[in-house]
Amino acid sequence: MSNSVSRSFQRRIALALALGAIGLATGCASIPSRVWYNGQAMSSTWQYRDVLNGDRSPDKLRALYYQSDARLLGHRSVRYPYFGRW
């Protein structure tokens, strides 16, 4: 009986190792933090909300692409920026 238990246990371990190796090889197991920050920066812009509401103009998509930078995460994006005193 112990021989059949050990074989079953060995098969489970081998299957778990094979699935783990496949998961690591495909890149699905880890996503770099830079990707998370870029997505967070992109989803916090007004262009993202406009695209979600159906405005898929090339200018809007281009602006959305350039706003998906993690360095701009704290930057406040406004629709019509203030130009200062004239």
pLDDT one-digit tens code per residue, 21-77: 887 777 655 677 777 777 777 787 788 888 889 888 898 888 877 766 666 555 666
Give how far the C-alpha of residue 55 lies from the chain's centroid of Cα atoms, to the nearest Å: 22
My answer on whether 52 and 23 are in the same domain is no
pTM comes to 0.42
- 7/42 same-domain check: no
Give me the number of domains the chain comprises: 2
- Helix, strand, coil shares of the chain as percentages rounded to 5? 65, 0, 35
Query: Helices then strands (H, E): number in the chain?
Result: 4, 0
Asked if 46 and 70 sit in the same domain, the reply is yes
Tokens (6 digits) for 80: 């019509």
Instruction: Give percent of the chain with pLDDT exceeding 90.
Output: 6
Range of the domain at 86: 31-86
Q: How far apart are CA 19 and CA 60, in angstroms?
A: 41
pLDDT attached to residue 8 = 86
pLDDT value, residue 52: 87
pLDDT of 79 > 80? The answer is no
Q: Give yes or no: residues 18 and 48 share one domain.
A: no
Do 22 and 62 belong together in one domain? no
Distance of alpha carbon 57 from alpha carbon 63, whole angstroms = 10
